[in-house]
Structure 1
């Protein structure tokens, strides 16, 4: 069959097919809950706790790539109305069990960000802890556009992603040449700013703090943390 590329969606789907299937990968990843994965611990990110302690007070929140729900639960317990988005059924099954145990009311949505339709200017705060560095390069522009569309004017965006201690700083060309995202993409500060500064005012950008087990928070220093505010159109 002669398959033609007639629009951007078809092009993106072709590029997606060169890499791993994210639904299969993440369902398999979350199936074994006993793996020694640091972020399987049911504790919020230390930077997220800091944002709330410093006065971030959103009403309606979207967490993209929410996984087993640890940050979504924390934000719900702070009084936020939370939508938790993830494409893995296995992750959201775990997240719902945790939310029920914590008495947290969260609207979990099993869908890819790229298939998620949202009314413009919906959310006060969008949070991504670990999705961005697993994102294929051709999906970055759509990722940014989705976030910008979903945020209210003056809304905030928080992110946690690999720095170059967490993963290799693979170039975009290397991803497609090797047909692999490997363990994720590590971002230098320069590259991070290059991607986000056009659309966001970067309020904080720092290395995540290592946190001891008794802190009740998650933190490992091979990750960037950043809080940003959307720029006016």
Structure 2
């Protein structure tokens, strides 16, 4: 992530002043691919929510019995996550660190990325992939939310990077095998919109 992108994101978190609903990318409800992945595990397993933001999805997973670690670069975001976890009465381990430096002692059964990869402005996709592989146990799943391309000219000079499904699959091959895809077009304000394609992926790591 570039220095400018960090400053912009930190500004939004600080301006929210502890109110997640004021963060533009905050969502209360998880995507279908995440719901399916967690329900399939029947409340068992370790999950890493990388770039957890305000912590809504981390708390949602903890409510369903998962052992959750939530990672983010911004203390203001983690404070909102801790407040939500306390309100809901669930345990979540919140970690303030850069995803490129994070090295847990044990691997995870599920890694959730609901916006990190497409926000790696100036970052290294290859190093990101190595980190995901370091985090994931054999047979584990990556659940990825990423902005897709609706057509060849679907791009913006600022904001999250749009990538085609073919590009995403190529990034993670051959170690991660795609199993499910969910595509949803939604309206969002300019300069990012007016229409954005959100794509949810489930990948399984080859044993």
Aligning the two structures, in what range does the TM-score lie when normalised by the shorter sequence? 0.7 to 0.9
Question: Structure 2: 5+ residue runs without aligned partners?
Answer: 187-194
Whole-angstrom distance in 2 between the partners of 1:68 and 1:138: 22
SS of the equivalent of 1:133 reads helix
Q: Is the 8 A contact 1:45 1:71 kept in 2?
A: no
Q: What is the match of residue 34 of structure 2?
A: 48
- Give the gaps of 5 or more residues in structure 1: 1-15, 171-180, 211-219
After superposition, what is the alpha-carbon deviation per residue over 1:114-155, rounded to whole angstroms, capped at 9, x for unaligned?
Answer: 121223x51111100011100136511111111101111111
1:91 equivalent in structure 2:
77
The aligned counterpart of 2:86 is: 100
Q: Which residue of 2 aligns with 1:35?
A: 22
Shift in alpha-carbon separation, 1:62–1:165, aligned structure 2, 3 A: same
Equivalent residue, structure 1, for 2:104: 118
For each residue in 1:2-58, what CA deviation from the matched residue of structure 2 results, as whole angstroms up to 9, or x when unmatched?
xxxxxxxxxxxxxx6xx3345433221222335373x424333333123233x1344
* TM-score computed with the length of structure 2 as normaliser: 0.82
Cα deviation, 1:44-99, whole Å, max 9, x if unaligned, reads 3333123233x134411111000001110111011011000000111111111111
Q: Do structure 1's residue 201 and structure 2's residue 177 form an aligned pair?
A: yes
Q: Which has the higher helix share?
A: 1
Does residue 226 in structure 1 map to residue 194 in structure 2? no
Distance 1:169 1:56 in 2: 36
SS in 2 for 1:40: coil
- Per the alignment, residue 186 of structure 1 pairs with 162
* Cα distance in structure 2, aligned partners of 1:185 and 1:153: 29
CA RMSD of aligned residues (A): 2.6
Residue correspondences, number:
193
Deviation at 1:221, TM superposition (A): 6.7
Larger CA Rg, structure 1 vs 2: 1
Report which of the two has the higher share of strand: 2
User: Which residue pairs with 1:4 in the alignment?
Assistant: none
